[in-house]
Amino acid sequence: MRLSYILNALSTVITYIGVFLLLPVFVALIYKDYSSVIPFLSSSLLTVSMGLLIKKIYPQAAKLENLNDIKKSEALFIVAVSWMMFAVIAALPYMFYNLTFVDSLFESTSGITTTGATIFKTFNYAHALLFWRSLTQWLGGIGIIVMFVAVLPQFAVAGRQMFFAETPGPTEDKFTPRVRTTAILLWSLYLGLTLLAIICLTIAGMPLFDSICNAMSTLAAGGFSPNSNSIMGYHKPLLTWIILIFMFFAGSSMNLQYKVLVKKKNPFLFFKSEEFCLYFWVVIISSAAIAYVLITKDHYGMHAAVRHSLFQVISMMTSTGSASIDFAKWSYPAQILLFITMFFGSCASSAGGGIKMTRWLLVFKSMKAELVRILHPNAVINVKVEDTVVSPEVLRQVIVFVIYYFAIFILGAILITFIEHNHIYGLASSITALGNIGPGFGAIGPMGSFADFHISSKLIMIFWMLIGRLEIIPFLVMTQRDFWSFKA
């Protein structure tokens, strides 16, 4: 790997993240909270200086005008390190508010990976900091590298490698021949949906500041809210339905949304997608099962049962983590059903996390194909998704990914169980971090906090959040000895 390429890209990413740190300064000025200007202004100056200093110390990086011939290993390294640096930089302002470095890093990592788990016990913080929490989720929702591919000319061609390193999936899912054009359209759609959500929430009676923060977190499938009780704290069913709808779209493929809503302008074409159909029916069936339990065992009314079951299923599946109710108080069967939905995930090319519906689709079809081969050994069985044959290499990668996903989940669950002496905490914390979901159950439920966790548990969750956001592969590749070969 060439240091000049790596440092050039990292310098650019760090510098622009520093620029984003200035946005909360304007929020502080609007609310006349001048003491909150210093944390963000000083963090911004430090970050921008660090980005510029890299090119100053290593002139070869500054001489590069573009990264057009970047290698896949370099792209993977840049993406992984960019996200780790983003987490550290995003943590800087939190430390000005009397949070330890680990707690600050936990909150910032939870933000940028759109996990939504929090160490906050109280929400009596400055508007600027609450805005920064939601902004980090919004920036992380589609991806910081995807954003830079869209706006920075030096990433125009090289962006292909980094684009798919940051948004890995079973197949390369882009809807224009040029990756930069795809990135621009993705961010345009993402921004448009966010603005629409802000308008809808404000009209429905949510304060403007809360509308902006909740809209950014919702479209990012993040879940951070300026309200300590999440969406439940607003006590308005209409707001619940609005957030529910936008969460659903946050968890569906952005590429598919562009093709169906912008290009074809025919919503019924959503159901031509096998992945969307699976996503839709898993939501409906899971919600119906939980609603039945809520009605029969928790004595909910029909409307409340349907609303809360739909909201929480979509919230868990899309890894948003918002809450319309404290589901940690639900009966045991309802909590078990909700826990299962954490393993489904959202659609590929969405802001949501998890294993992703495309992978489950391929796993189920592969299992079916193997059963047919047992009965008919000489038959040629192709696995298809929407009339496209999926290569054996892709199927192998999907199966390996799922195996690694569950192996990492189990490892995290065991480690945190030993540290916290609580198997519920172990299971919930591991999947909520790896799946970028957010809340767990019991004391770490939607109205709870991870503040009392041991520092070791927090560090494991921080690492799991990053692994989950980049979908494991970049980090697994970095464990190979051959990967660590540098030259000027």
List pLDDT tens digits, range 439-480.
999 889 999 999 999 999 999 999 999 999 888 877 777 777
Tokens of 135: 């902004």
pLDDT of residue 106: 97
pLDDT tens, position by position, 80-96: 888 899 999 999 999 99
> Which of 239, 251, 301, 295 minimizes the C-alpha distance to 276?
251
CA–CA–CA angle 328, 343, 189 (5° rounding): 100
Rounded to whole angstroms, how far apart are CA atoms 148 and 155?
7
pLDDT at 155 over 60: no
> Which of 340, 352, 361, 213 minimizes the C-alpha distance to 289?
340
pLDDT tens, position by position, 285-337: 999 999 999 999 999 999 999 999 999 999 999 999 999 999 999 999 999 99
Number of H helices, E strands in the chain: 21, 2
pLDDT at 357 over 70: yes
pLDDT of residue 5: 77
Q: What is the mean pLDDT of residues 262-269?
A: 87
> Which of 169, 159, 187, 166 minimizes the C-alpha distance to 84?
166
pLDDT band for position 386 (cuts 50, 70, 90): confident
pLDDT of residue 475: 77
pLDDT at 68 over 70: no
> Which of 272, 140, 126, 97 minimizes the C-alpha distance to 209?
126
pTM: 0.91
Q: What proportion of the chain, given as a percentage, has pLDDT over 90?
A: 61
How big is the chain, counted in residues?
Answer: 488
Q: What is the mean pLDDT of residues 101-119?
A: 95
Phi, psi (rounded to 5 degrees) for 2: -95, 120
